């Protein structure tokens, strides 16, 4: 049903996209005003939306493009996307790169467009805009590694987008235009194509390596946006399209464990955080797969909270890289006194991602764990608990200790812009606010489920896990020091063979081209003399009568060719016959 228009009845994604266009042409000071004002206006537009509101325009053959469709699920994602767009832009106020600002705005606007899309065609349009705009946040770093990673990132997302588009074409050709759940029936080709396309953006192993390859190479400020949108839009799609798909339960568990294992081994700060995106998204994917109201609430809540604390962690890591120029744990250490506020903000985000009580991560992660327990999945619950232990170990303890504590090194620290601190204060405040007042988030979740995260059992079990993990960390600290070796991931198994295939293919094609060119050159050399004197060739091979004189050694075309008038006459005759034929028939 269609709800009456409101004061700010305008698509919030369009607000950010238009602001991105303006940012390309405005001077720096005006662009800064746009960077803060546009997300605030988009947030106001989001809060003016109501569940049940739809907006559409006619397309072709009676098809309606539903460019705005609001329910509680899309609304909770739209709210957090607007919030992180504001925090990310505040964090980026010091940069003087219009292209990066525009790309970030388009990226955020496309994310809002995707979650508010009501039909498949609008959905795929905004979905593909994410891949294009986010690539420029990687390329904008303008370093060889970033350029190469950006190309790989774009190629993988084009593959995923084409798979998704193929599935959507099958749906649309069958007369199904609305974005609805595909579960409940027998999976067909469209089901699997759409699932694979979404799985690429969700970074489900082994389709995940684009994330850990590209995100660490993005710009410092671009990383805040990269970690917030693509995978969470994919989580929204999984909740919307594949709720209760059992394959997602174990895919999510694998993601949660897989990401933690590689994070423990990683040396690069932002690459470590990128592996934890995979791990945390695994909780959400598992929640979508469980499919109960509590689990789906948990998946949506965890996506909401994850965007807050993960963007805060990327802000903290970006501040360290900005101040020191270093990004590897083997190079860092002893920064606590030099970067006290950054260390505090970073640890707040680390506690939140680990699910420590009274942080945002605790109120969302416990929803998914409780959903697994209530659905009779003890193995899933235990494995997700273990992934939570690994998260606390690798970020709240290992990453924090080796970056800010440990051996103090002679590192020169550059002053950090104030706007970066303001953004980190905002992220830290939200991490604690939603942890202390969970009903602020719970009241906006898709389903009304009576749930209390702060039971004695939940709090005590989490404190036990935290203390136990701290003891393990302290005992095995000498073994946890990072190394400079590169961790080989699944991308090795297609990047290396594909590179070899390209080299072999190019060599074979070049050899065929060279051989064909040589043969053509030989034929040309052999036939050129025949055209130098056609009459001589006719006499030599018996084409001309024997009684005629032998052809001269030198052929004079003016002597033997037809007169010009004869050629004109033949052309006129052919033209006249053609016209007469067309006119008569």
Band of residue 552 on the pLDDT scale cut at 50, 70, 90: low
Once rounded to an integer, what is the mean pLDDT over residues 115-132?
A: 94
Number of domains in the chain: 4
pLDDT tens per residue, range 483-497: 776 777 877 777 788
CA distances from residue 551 to 193, 399, 533, 559, 560 in whole angstroms, order as listed: 72, 92, 8, 12, 11
Average pLDDT of the chain, as a whole number: 88
| The pLDDT of residue 538 | 67
The answer to whether residues 503 and 408 belong to one domain is no
Q: Assess if residue 224 is contained within a domain.
A: no
pLDDT tens per residue, range 82-95: 999 999 999 999 99
3-class SS of residue 53: coil
Boundary (domain end) residue, out of 137, 154, 180:
180
Once rounded to an integer, what is the mean pLDDT over residues 262-276?
A: 91
Q: What is the Cα–Cα distance from 306 to 278, expressed in whole angstroms?
A: 11
The answer to whether residues 133 and 253 belong to one domain is no
pLDDT at 352 over 80: yes
Domain range for residue 576? 533-585
pLDDT at 362 over 50: yes
pLDDT tens per residue, range 502-548: 899 999 999 999 999 899 888 887 777 666 666 666 666 665 555 55
Q: What is the Cα–Cα distance from 127 to 241, expressed in whole angstroms?
A: 14
Say if residues 210 and 155 touch (Cβ distance below 8 Å): no
Q: Which backbone phi and psi does 116 adopt, to 5 degrees?
A: -100, 5
The answer to whether residues 432 and 371 belong to one domain is yes
| The pLDDT of residue 6 | 44
pLDDT at 42 over 60: yes
Band of residue 16 on the pLDDT scale cut at 50, 70, 90: very high
Q: What is the Cα–Cα distance from 190 to 172, expressed in whole angstroms?
A: 10
| The pLDDT of residue 535 | 63
The answer to whether residues 412 and 551 belong to one domain is no
Once rounded to an integer, what is the mean pLDDT over residues 380-392?
A: 90
- The partner residues of 328 in beta bridges, in order of sequence, read 268
The answer to whether residues 41 and 164 belong to one domain is yes
Once rounded to an integer, what is the mean pLDDT over residues 31-56?
A: 93
pLDDT at 65 over 60: yes
pLDDT at 61 over 60: yes
Q: Assess if residue 320 is contained within a domain.
A: yes
Query: Measuring CA to CA, which residue among 140, 153, 109 is closest to residue 127?
Result: 109
| The pLDDT of residue 86 | 97
Rg (CA), the chain: 32
DSSP 216: G
The answer to whether residues 298 and 415 belong to one domain is yes
- The partner residues of 268 in beta bridges, in order of sequence, read 328
pLDDT tens per residue, range 392-441: 888 888 889 889 987 778 888 999 999 999 999 999 999 999 999 999 99
Burial class of residue 249, CB neighbours in 10 A (0-12, 13-18, 19+): buried
The answer to whether residues 355 and 456 belong to one domain is yes
3-class SS of residue 50: coil
In sequence order, what DSSP letters do the residues of 444-478 get, joined into one string? TSSS-----S--HHHHHHHHHHHHHHHHHHHHTGG
Q: What is the Cα–Cα distance from 276 to 234, expressed in whole angstroms?
A: 16
In sequence order, what DSSP letters do the residues of 143-186 get, joined into one string? SHHHHHHHHHHHHHHHHHHHHHHHHHHHHHHTT--B----TTS-
Largest CA distance in the chain: 120
The answer to whether residues 282 and 406 belong to one domain is yes
Once rounded to an integer, what is the mean pLDDT over residues 201-209?
A: 91
Q: Assess if residue 208 is contained within a domain.
A: no
Query: Measuring CA to CA, which residue among 418, 426, 413 is closest to residue 339?
Result: 413
pLDDT at 554 over 80: no
| The pLDDT of residue 532 | 65
| The pLDDT of residue 537 | 65
3-class SS of residue 68: strand
Once rounded to an integer, what is the mean pLDDT over residues 354-368?
A: 92
Burial class of residue 81, CB neighbours in 10 A (0-12, 13-18, 19+): buried
Joined together, the tokens standing for residue 525 give 């050399």
Prediction pTM value: 0.85
Once rounded to an integer, what is the mean pLDDT over residues 5-28?
A: 82
The answer to whether residues 514 and 543 belong to one domain is no
| The pLDDT of residue 584 | 77
Q: Assess if residue 220 is contained within a domain.
A: no
Query: Measuring CA to CA, which residue among 341, 355, 116, 320 is closest to residue 237?
Result: 116
Q: What is the Cα–Cα distance from 47 to 50, expressed in whole angstroms?
A: 8
Q: Assess if residue 186 is contained within a domain.
A: no
Q: Assess if residue 235 is contained within a domain.
A: no
The answer to whether residues 36 and 120 belong to one domain is yes
Q: Assess if residue 238 is contained within a domain.
A: no
| The pLDDT of residue 60 | 80
pLDDT tens per residue, range 444-497: 999 988 888 998 888 888 888 888 888 888 877 777 676 776 777 877 777 788
The answer to whether residues 468 and 498 belong to one domain is no
Band of residue 565 on the pLDDT scale cut at 50, 70, 90: confident
The answer to whether residues 327 and 399 belong to one domain is yes
Q: What is the Cα–Cα distance from 494 to 197, expressed in whole angstroms?
A: 18
Q: Assess if residue 576 is contained within a domain.
A: yes
| The pLDDT of residue 2 | 44
Say if residues 68 and 123 touch (Cβ distance below 8 Å): no
* C-alpha 191: how far from chain center: 21
% of the chain residues with pLDDT over 90: 62
């Amino acid at each position: 049903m269609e709800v009456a228009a409101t004061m700010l009845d305008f698509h919030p994604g369009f607000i950010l996209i238009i602001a991105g266009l303006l940012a390309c042409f405005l001077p720096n000071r005006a662009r800064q005003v746009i960077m803060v004002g546009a997300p605030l206006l988009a947030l106001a537009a989001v809060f003016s939306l109501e569940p049940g509101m739809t907006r559409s325009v006619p397309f072709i053959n009676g098809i309606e493009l539903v460019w705005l469709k609001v329910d509680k699920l899309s609304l909770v994602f739209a709210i957090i996307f607007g919030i992180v767009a504001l925090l990310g832009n505040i964090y980026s106020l010091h940069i003087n790169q219009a292209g990066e600002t525009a790309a970030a705005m388009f990226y955020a606007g496309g994310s809002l467009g995707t979650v508010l899309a009501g039909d498949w065609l609008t959905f795929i349009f905004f979905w593909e805009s994410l891949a294009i705009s986010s690539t420029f946040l990687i390329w904008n770093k303008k370093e060889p590694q970033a350029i190469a990673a950006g190309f790989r990132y774009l190629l993988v997302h084009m593959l995923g987008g084409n798979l998704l588009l193929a599935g959507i074409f099958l749906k649309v050709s069958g007369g199904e235009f609305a974005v609805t759940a595909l579960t409940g029936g027998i999976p067909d080709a469209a089901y699997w194509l759409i699932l694979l396309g979404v799985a690429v953006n969700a970074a489900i192993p082994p389709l995940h390596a684009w994330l850990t390859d590209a995100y660490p190479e993005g710009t410092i400020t671009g990383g805040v946006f990269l970690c917030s949108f693509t995978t969470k839009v994919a989580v929204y799609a999984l909740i919307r399209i594949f709720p209760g798909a059992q394959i997602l339960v174990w895919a999510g568990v694998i993601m949660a464990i897989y990401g933690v294992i590689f994070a423990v081994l990683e040396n690069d700060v932002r690459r470590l955080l990128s592996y934890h995106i995979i791990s945390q998204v695994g909780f959400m994917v598992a929640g979508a797969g469980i499919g109960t109201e509590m689990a789906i609430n948990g998946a949506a809540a965890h996506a909401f909270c994850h965007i807050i604390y993960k963007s805060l962690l990327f802000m903290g890591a970006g501040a360290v890289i900005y101040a020191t120029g270093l990004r590897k744990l083997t190079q860092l250490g002893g920064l606590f006194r030099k970067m006290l506020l950054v260390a505090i903000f970073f640890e707040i985000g680390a506690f939140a991602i680990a699910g420590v009580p009274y942080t945002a991560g605790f109120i969302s992660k416990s929803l998914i764990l409780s959903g697994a327990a209530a659905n009779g999945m003890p193995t899933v619950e235990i494995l997700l608990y273990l992934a939570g232990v690994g998260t606390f170990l690798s970020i709240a303890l290992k990453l924090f200790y080796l970056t800010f504590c440990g051996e103090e090194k002679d590192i020169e620290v550059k002053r950090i812009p104030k706007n970066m601190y303001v953004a980190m204060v905002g992220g830290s405040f939200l991490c604690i606010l939603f942890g202390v007042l969970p009903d602020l988030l719970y009241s906006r979740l898709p389903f009304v489920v009576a749930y209390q995260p702060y039971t004695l059992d939940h709090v005590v079990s989490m404190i036990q896990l935290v203390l136990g993990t701290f003891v393990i960390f302290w005992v095995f600290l000498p073994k946890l020091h990072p190394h400079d070796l590169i961790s080989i991931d699944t991308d090795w198994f297609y990047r290396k063979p594909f590179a070899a295939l390209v080299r072999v293919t190019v060599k074979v094609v070049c050899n065929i081209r060279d051989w064909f060119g040589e043969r053509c050159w030989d034929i040309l050399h052999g036939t050129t003399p025949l055209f130098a004197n056609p009459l001589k060739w006719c006499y030599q091979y018996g084409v001309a009568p024997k009684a005629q004189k032998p052809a001269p050694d030198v052929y004079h075309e003016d002597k033997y060719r037809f007169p010009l008038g004869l050629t004109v006459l033949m052309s006129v005759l052919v033209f006249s016959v053609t016209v007469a034929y067309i006119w008569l028939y």
